[in-house]
A and B are shown apart, each in its own frame.
Chain A
Amino acid sequence: GEDVEQSLFLSVREGDSSVINCTYTDSSSTYLYWYKQEPGAGLQLLTYIFSNMDMKQDQRLTVLLNKKDKHLSLRIADTQTGDSAIYFCAGWYSSASKIIFGSGTRLSIRP
């Protein structure tokens, strides 16, 4: 069945780059997403990538997609305290007509 996996925690120093990784099992996913959840709030779409793309850049965010290895990553350059949140990887599976979410990676920032 479909599955999306992420590590649960990541700690980085302020100003460094953060890289959050995600693997998925179903190659039929057409869109892959990164959602951000700040404390006490719902999820907000951060960025997405279509499955025929390898990379997408949006200001401090870079999304890399390796379709062969079914691996997705989110790089946040110059990480700031405001980036502290839980980041969810998600994939749209047309075969099931639904979005599958990973377990979320909690990003914490050290001074």
Chain B
Amino acid sequence: EAQVTQNPRYLITVTGKKLTVTCSQNMNHEYMSWYRQDPGLGLRQIYYSMNVEVTDKGDVPEGYKVSRKEKRNFPLILESPSPNQTSLYFCASSSTSGGGRNEQFFGPGTRLTVL
């Protein structure tokens, strides 16, 4: 089954404790992206990757890091989480940069709470 998986689905942590949210897709997609969803703000792009070893900042990259060492994986790293990073996070992938008719496939989301 074609899918994007994220782990963990729920995470409660404390300020300053490094964490990683994993994302994996099995569709051989070149493009992958991380979003955060906050009430009333819709989805805001954190980072994206056009292909292996190619990553770039989205609209809200501060406090986050990513890596793309393999095509299928695109982990999101919070080196020193802060309470304002409490949010719902989505990973997405598509066969191109997401434009045109190409559909972005979304993971199920990771709800992160930073105390």
Which chain B residue lies CB-closest to A99? B98
Pair count A-B, CB < 8 A: 53
Smallest CB separation, B99 vs chain A (Å) = 4
- Is the CB of B108 closer than 8 A to any CB of chain A? yes
The answer to whether A98 has its CB under 8 Å from any CB of chain B is: yes
Known contacts A98-B48, A98-B58, A99-B104; is-contact A88 B43 (Cβ 8 Å): yes
Encode A22-38 as 1/0 by CB contact (under 8 A) with B: 00000000110000000
Contact check, A8 vs B100: say whether CB atoms are below 8 A apart: no
Q: Which residues, 20 to 77 on B, are CB-close (under 8 Å) to A?
A: 35, 40-45, 48, 58
Interface residue tally on B, bucketed by range = 20 to 34
* Residues on the B chain within 8 Å of A98, using CB: 45, 48, 58, 97-98
A11 at the interface (CB under 8 A from B): no
CB distance from A85 to the nearest CB of B (A): 13
Q: Is there contact, CB below 8 Å, between A92 and B106?
A: no
| A30 and B90 form a contact (CB under 8 A) | no
CA distance A80 to B43 in the complex (A): 26
Is A43 an interface position by the 8 A CB rule?
A: yes
Interface residues of A (CB under 8 A from B): 4, 8, 30-31, 40-45, 48, 50, 88, 92, 94, 97-99, 101-104
